[in-house]
C-alpha cells in the first residue's frame, strides 16, 4: 500500500478541517483558565495588575514555548509516515529501544485519563455560563444530558457532523478574537504581558505561584492532541492553522485581562471573566457558542481516544477489542467498550466533583505526565536518527524543565482531586502493562518445531489417511513463528497429539504488525505443492485487521496462478469453493513453574483476555468457521513431567516386586 495515498493535501479546506479536529481542547481553554487563576490569587488581589499581567504573560509564553516550539515546530517532524501521537512515536523507536514501551504506555494511559476529564470540565463550564443568566437551570442534570447525547451518537459516526466542525470552530476562534479585541483596544496597557519579565517576576514573587502554575498549564492541555491528529490533518495544515488559532487565543486572554484589571469591583472567584467581558446583549449567544464549541472539543477527544486504543491493540499494548467503522472516512472508527467506559467515567466526574471549580483540581495532572513521556521518547527518537548531542540534550532538558515545573504545580492538586486522573491513568497502565507482559511471558515459553521434510511428510500422511475424519477442505492456522520453516509446538500438538486434523490443504498464516502505519504486503512460501503453504501478511499498525478477507483474496490470486485448487473436494459440490476452518490455539496455565512475580501478571492477562473480545473478533474471523483449541502452556515441559511420573511409577512397581521376591525366599508364615 502506498503511503503517499495518505498524505493530506494542503489548502483552505485542510486548514479549516484542522481547526475543527485539532484545536477543540486548546480552543475551549479560555473558558476556565483565567477563572482558575483568579481563584488561586490572594483575597482582594483578584484584579491586581501585577498578578494578572504576570499570569497572562505565563499563558502567552507557555503557548509559545510548549505548544508552538515543542509541538508545532519540533515534535510534528517526528512523524511515522505522516502519522503522529505518542504510540506512533514509540513505533518509530521500538526496534532499538524495546523497553521504551513502559514510557509509551504511561503517556498513553495519562492521555486517555485526560479524555475522561476534559469533556466533564469543558461541558460543565459552558453550562455554568448558562446558569449565570438563568439560575433555575440545573447544572448537573443538563451537563449529564449533553454528555449522554455526545456518547450516544458515537455509534452513528460523525461523518455528517464532521464537515461542520471546522466551520464551527473557525467561527468560534474568530469570536474569541473579536471579544478580546473589544476589551483590548481601549486598554492597550495589557500588551505589556508580552514581556517575559512579567512572567518571571510573577513566578518568583506571587504567593502560591506554584499552585497557580497548575491553572496556567491548562492553556496548553490540547497540545498533545495536536500531535496525535497529525495523520488526520497533515503537517502543513496544522502549522498554518495554528498561527490563526494562537493569535485568537492570545487576543482573548488579553481581553479578559483588560476586563479584570479595569473592573476591580466586579471581580471575585465566583465569576467567570470569559462570560463577564462579553457585551450584555451577546452573552446568551456566547454561552450557546461555548456549549457548541465544548461539544466539538469533546467529540475530537473521544475520536482521539478511539485512535489511541486502536494503535495500542495493533502494537500489542491493549487487549483485543471490537472495532467498528461506521463511515468510509479515513481513520474514523468506533470502539463500543471504550465509548461506554469513557461515558461512565465522565458521568462519575460530573457527579463526584459537581462544578468546574472542583474539576479544575483533577485537571492537568495526567496530561502533564503524558507530555513528559513524549519529551523522553522524543529524545530517543533524536538518538535513533543520529541527531547531535549538542542539539538533542539541551532541547530535551529545556522541555523537561518546563514540564517538570508544571508537573510539580499540578501535583499540588493531588489530594484536591488530582488523584482521580492518576487513578484512571493507573488503572489503564495496569491493563496495558499486564497485557503486554503476559503476551511476552507466553512468547518466552514458545517452543518451535522445524517444518522439515519429515514434519511435512507427516502432514501429508494425515491428509491422505481416510481413517481420520476430514475436518475441512482448507485448514488455516494462525501462527507467530518468524521463520517460514518453523511452527509453534502448540500447533503441532493440535495437529497430531489431539484429534488429528485431516484436510486437503494446510495454511500457516502469520500476520505481522509493522511500524509503518499503512503498509500492506504479503509473501507466499510453498512448503508442499498444492498441499501446504505458509503466508506472511505484513500490516501497518493503522491497517484494519480482516484476516479472513485477506486470505480469501490471496488464495484466489494463487488459484489464478495455478498454485492451489480452491474447489470443493466433495463430488456433489465440485462447482463450489471448498469449506474453510480457522484454528486458534490457546495455551492454558498448567504444569508451569514460573517466578512468583510473573504468575499474577499471567493470571491478570488471562482474566483480561477472557473478559475482552476474543481472537475470533480481533482477526475478523467468521465464528461459525473458527475452532478454538486449548493446549498446555509449555508442551515440552508437560511431556517431561509425564516422563517423570512414568519413572516414579516404574520405581514404585520395582519396589513392590522386590518385596514379593523377599517373601518368596522366606518360609511361608504360619497363621497365629
Specify the range with the lowest mean pLDDT, choosing from 69-83, 600-614, 619-633: 600-614
* Highest-scoring range by mean pLDDT, 111-125, 127-141, 237-251, 410-424: 237-251
Query: pLDDT tens-digit profile of 216-267?
Result: 988 888 887 778 777 777 888 889 999 999 999 999 999 999 999 998 888 8
pLDDT of 657: 43
pLDDT in tens, 353-372: 888 777 877 777 888 899 99
pLDDT above 90 covers a percentage of the chain that reads 31
φ/ψ (deg, to 5) at 286: -60, -40
Average pLDDT (431-455) is: 85
How much is the pLDDT for 647?
64
User: Per-residue confidence at 591, pLDDT binned at 50, 70, 90?
Assistant: low
Query: Looking at residue 25, what is its pLDDT?
Result: 82
Q: What is the DSSP string of 60-73?
A: HHHIIIIIIIIIII
Distance of CA 376 to the CA centre of its chain: 18
Residues of the chain with pLDDT > 70, as a percent, come to 89
pLDDT tens string 144-161:
999 998 888 887 765 555
- What average pLDDT does the segment 103-114 reach? 91
β-partners of residue 580 are: 474
Nearest residue to 362 via CA among 404, 291, 412, 405: 412
Q: pLDDT grade, residue 326 (50/70/90)?
A: low
Centre a 10 Å sphere on the Cβ of residue 151 and count the other Cβ atoms it contains: 19
Q: Cβ distance 257 to 52 under 8 Å?
A: yes
* Res. 57 pLDDT band, cuts 50 70 90: very high
Report pLDDT for 634.
Answer: 57
SS3 labels along 309-330: HHHHHHCCCCCCCCCECCCCCC
Mean pLDDT, range 272-286, rounded to an integer: 90
- DSSP for 30-56, written as a single string: GGTHHHHHHHHSPTT-TT-HHHHHHHH
What is the per-residue pLDDT across 545-558, written as a single tens digit (0 to 9) for each? 888 899 999 999 99
pLDDT band, residue 669 (cuts 50/70/90): very low
pLDDT the model gives residue 587: 77
pLDDT digits over 576-587, tens only?
A: 888 899 998 887
Q: What is the pLDDT of residue 7?
A: 56
Higher pLDDT pick, 614 / 526: 526
Per-residue pLDDT band at 651 (split at 50, 70, 90)? low
Q: Is the pLDDT of residue 670 over 50?
A: no
Asked whether residue 12 carries a pLDDT value surpassing 90, the answer given is no
* pLDDT given for residue 376 in this prediction: 94
Amino acid at each position: 500500500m502506498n503511503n503517499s495515498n495518505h498524505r493530506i493535501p494542503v489548502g483552505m479546506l485542510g486548514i479549516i478541517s484542522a481547526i475543527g479536529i485539532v484545536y477543540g481542547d486548546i480552543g475551549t481553554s479560555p473558558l476556565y483558565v483565567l477563572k482558575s487563576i483568579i481563584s488561586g490569587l490572594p483575597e482582594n488581589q483578584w484584579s491586581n495588575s501585577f498578578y494578572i499581567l504576570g499570569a497572562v504573560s505565563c499563558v502567552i509564553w507557555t503557548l509559545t514555548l510548549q505548544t508552538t516550539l515543542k509541538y508545532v515546530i519540533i515534535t510534528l517532524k517526528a512523524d511515522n509516515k505522516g502519522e503522529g501521537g505518542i504510540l506512533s512515536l514509540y513505533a518509530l523507536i521500538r526496534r532499538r529501544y524495546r523497553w521504551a514501551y513502559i514510557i509509551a504506555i504511561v503517556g498513553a494511559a495519562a492521555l486517555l485519563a485526560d479524555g475522561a476529564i476534559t469533556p466533564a470540565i469543558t461541558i460543565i463550564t459552558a453550562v455554568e455560563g448558562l446558569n449565570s443568566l438563568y439560575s433555575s437551570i440545573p447544572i448537573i442534570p443538563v451537563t449529564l444530558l449533553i454528555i449522554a447525547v455526545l456518547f450516544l451518537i458515537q455509534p452513528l459516526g460523525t461523518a455528517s457532523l464532521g464537515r461542520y466542525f471546522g466551520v464551527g470552530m473557525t467561527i468560534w476562534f474568530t469570536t474569541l478574537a473579536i471579544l478580546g479585541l473589544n476589551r483590548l483596544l481601549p486598554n492597550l496597557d495589557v500588551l505589556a504581558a508580552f514581556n517575559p519579565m512579567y512572567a518571571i517576576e510573577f513566578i518568583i514573587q506571587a504567593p502560591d505561584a506554584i499552585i497557580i502554575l497548575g491553572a496556567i498549564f491548562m492553556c496548553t492541555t490540547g497540545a498533545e492532541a495536536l500531535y496525535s491528529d497529525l495523520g488526520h490533518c497533515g503537517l502543513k495544515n496544522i502549522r498554518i492553522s495554528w498561527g490563526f488559532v494562537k493569535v485568537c487565543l492570545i487576543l482573548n486572554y488579553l481581553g479578559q485581562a483588560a476586563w479584570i484589571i479595569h473592573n476591580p469591583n466586579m471581580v471575585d472567584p465566583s465569576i467567570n471573566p470569559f462570560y463577564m467581558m462579553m457585551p450584555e446583549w451577546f452573552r446568551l449567544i456566547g454561552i450557546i457558542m461555548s456549549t457548541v464549541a465544548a461539544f466539538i472539543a469533546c467529540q475530537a477527544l473521544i475520536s482521539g481516544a478511539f485512535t489511541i486504543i486502536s494503535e495500542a491493540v495493533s502494537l500489542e499494548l491493549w487487549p483485543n477489542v471490537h472495532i467498528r467503522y461506521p463511515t468510509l472516512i479515513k481513520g474514523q472508527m468506533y470502539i463500543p467498550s471504550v465509548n461506554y467506559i469513557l461515558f461512565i467515567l465522565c458521568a462519575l466526574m460530573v457527579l463526584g466533583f459537581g462544578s468546574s471549580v472542583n474539576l479544575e483540581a483533577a485537571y492537568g495532572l495526567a496530561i502533564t505526565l503524558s507530555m513528559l513521556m513524549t519529551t523522553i521518547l522524543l529524545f530517543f527518537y533524536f538518538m535513533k536518527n543520529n541527531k547531535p548531542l549538542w542539539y538533542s540534550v539541551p532541547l530535551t532538558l529545556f522541555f523537561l524543565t518546563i514540564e517538570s515545573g508544571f508537573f510539580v504545580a499540578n501535583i499540588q492538586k493531588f489530594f484536591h482531586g488530582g488523584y482521580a486522573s492518576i487513578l484512571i491513568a493507573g488503572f489503564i497502565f495496569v491493563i496495558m502493562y499486564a497485557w503486554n507482559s503476559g503476551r511476552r511471558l507466553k512468547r518466552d515459553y514458545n517452543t518451535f518445531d522445524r517444518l522439515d521434510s519429515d514434519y511435512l511428510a507427516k502432514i501429508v500422511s494425515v491428509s491422505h489417511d481416510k481413517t481420520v475424519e476430514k475436518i475441512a477442505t482448507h485448514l488455516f492456522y494462525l501462527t507467530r513463528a518468524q521463520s517460514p520453516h518453523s511452527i509453534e509446538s502448540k500447533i503441532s500438538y493440535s495437529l497430531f497429539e489431539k484429534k488429528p486434523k485431516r484436510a486437503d490443504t494446510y495454511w500457516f498464516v502469520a500476520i505481522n504488525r509493522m511500524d509503518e502505519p499503512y503498509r500492506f504486503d504479503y509473501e507466499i512460501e510453498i512448503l508442499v505443492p498444492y498441499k501446504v503453504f505458509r503466508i506472511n501478511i505484513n500490516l501497518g499498525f493503522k491497517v484494519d485487521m480482516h484476516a479472513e478477507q485477506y486470505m480469501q483474496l490471496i488464495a484466489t490470486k494463487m488459484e489464478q496462478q495455478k498454485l492451489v485448487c480452491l474447489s470443493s473436494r466433495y463430488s456433489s459440490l465440485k462447482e463450489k469453493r471448498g469449506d474453510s476452518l480457522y484454528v486458534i490455539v490457546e495455551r492454558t496455565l498448567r504444569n508451569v513453574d514460573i517466578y512468583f512475580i510473573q504468575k499474577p501478571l499471567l493470571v491478570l492477562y488471562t482474566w483480561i483476555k477472557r473478559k475482552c473480545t476474543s481472537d475470533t473478533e480481533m482477526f475478523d474471523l467468521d465464528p461459525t468457521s473458527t475452532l478454538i483449541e486449548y493446549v498446555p502452556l509449555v508442551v515440552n515441559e508437560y511431556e517431561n513431567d509425564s516422563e517423570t511420573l512414568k519413572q516414579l511409577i516404574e520405581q514404585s512397581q520395582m519396589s513392590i516386586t522386590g518385596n514379593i521376591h523377599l517373601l518368596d525366599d522366606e518360609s511361608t508364615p504360619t497363621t497365629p
